[in-house]
Structure 1
Amino acid sequence: MPRWFVLAALLLAACSPTLNWREVPLAPGTSVALLPCKPDHATRSVPLGGVPTELDVAGCEAGGATFAVMVATLPEGRAPDEVLAGWQQATLANMQAAAASARTPFRPPGGLPLAHAERLVAQGQGTDGKAVAAEAVWTAHAVEGGGTELLHAVMYAPRPQPEVADAFFAGLKLR
């Protein structure tokens, strides 16, 4: 995607009075995200790749959509691509989506070249049973001292909003 397109999408999305974009540091690492609202933060243990893993979540709602960014750190020796693949399957299953309607590679600067570092679009159901469109990305990068930081960002909305999703995903910075 051309750089000018991403900048234009950010500017268009930034003009919306309901989307108040801000840079948010992501715990426990040094990565940051651009979120359109003041996020709530939570940490919980989840079974990523069958192993209990601390997952840090920042999320909020704005403009009729829900935005969430999740970060987990894997120790050396764990296969990050396998974990990303399982995470994608769990996300699709959770929203009762049969499959993703579109998949494209997603590799921001510093991201590892993994097969499941992807952006996908899917249609499914929200927890309330209503139709929901999801646009999501998964990526990973090596962390100082060993291990891998995994990052997953997702936007759920009643209908696809690709311009807003473009701005959201362009704001993810791996550091």
Structure 2
Amino acid sequence: MSLRPVVCAWVAGLSALAAACAPSLDWREVRPDEAGLMMLMPCKPEQRTRQLVLVGRPVQMRVLGCTADGTTWGLSTADLADPALVGPALAELRAARRLNLDGTETAVKAAQVGGMTPQAQAVRFSLAGKLPDGTSLTDQSLLFAHGTRVFHAAALGGKPSAQELETFFDGLKLQK
């Protein structure tokens, strides 16, 4: 099975949302539907739902995103309903991101989101990649889980500062 559709759906969903967002950072608290999560977004996000295959099963993935200052900021989430699929799904999302961005991981560390379900595959990573037209870009991603729900938060492209990235990733808080 090709992993390309997973990330293509994510990138396509965020690209479709990008036009609706303002070009400057205007941080706001966002609570994505059904995700049990509070987060900070630097622009007003739009939400879409995509059907895709993840770990061999059809899933409904919610994609929330916007673009500001050349960076597309987003969160995708799906409930797998089976705890045994969570680790493999996180690994598949990571591999798909590398493949679709023709990327090389430049940094990897364990994910840290308060309240997350511990998973060996929960990581924060950076990629140096390319768009289909050959344009170079960077990607900062965070993969984690809560129960049977998987999350992928990302800052794609542009040149976000270290402080902006920390605000975005540290702003992810699971609700009890």
Q: TM-score range by the shorter chain?
A: 0.7 to 0.9
Take 1:126 and 1:33, find their aligned partners in 2: how far apart are those partners? Answer: 27
Partner of 1:134: 139
Question: Matched residue of 1:164: which SS?
Answer: helix
For residues 172 and 127 of structure 1, the distance between their equivalents in structure 2, rounded to whole angstroms, comes to 30
Residue 113 of structure 2 corresponds to residue 114 of structure 1: no
Whichever residue aligns with residue 124 of structure 1, its letter is: G
Distance 1:35 1:29, change over 3 A: same
Structure 1 unaligned runs (5+)? 1-16, 143-147
- Of the three residues 21, 25, 32, the one matched with 2:31 is 25
Q: Which moved more, 1:126-135 or 1:99-108?
A: 126-135
Q: With structure 1 as the length reference, what TM-score do the two structures score?
A: 0.81
The corresponding residue for 1:164 is: 164
Q: Is the 8 A contact 1:134 1:160 kept in 2?
A: no
How big is each residue's C-alpha offset from its partner over 1:81-119, in whole Å with a ceiling of 9 and x where there is no partner? Answer: 11100000001111111x311100012111122111110
Q: Tell me how far apart the structure 2 counterparts of residues 137 and 120 of structure 1 sit (CA, whole Å).
A: 6
Letter matched to residue 60 of structure 1 = C
Alignment of 1:1-175 (within 5 A): 18-97=24-103, 99-142=104-147, 148-159=148-159, 161-175=161-175
Maintained 8 Å contact 2:144/2:150:
yes
CA distance in 1, matches of 2:144, 2:81: 16
Residues 29-86 of structure 1 show CA distances to partners (whole Å, capped at 9, x for unaligned) of 2212211001111001111112111100110000111111011111134321111000
TM-score (norm 2): 0.81
CA contact (8 A) 1:56 1:72 kept: yes
Q: Distance in 1 between matches of 2:170 and 2:49?
A: 24
Corresponding position of 1:6: none
Q: Distance in 2 between matches of 1:160 and 1:88?
A: 21
Decide whether the 8 Å contact of 1:74 with 1:150 is kept in 2.
yes
Q: Which amino acid aligns with 1:141?
A: H
- Larger Rg belongs to: 1
Q: CA deviation at 1:160?
A: 5.9
Name the CA distance, whole Å, in 2 between partners of 1:107 and 1:79.
20
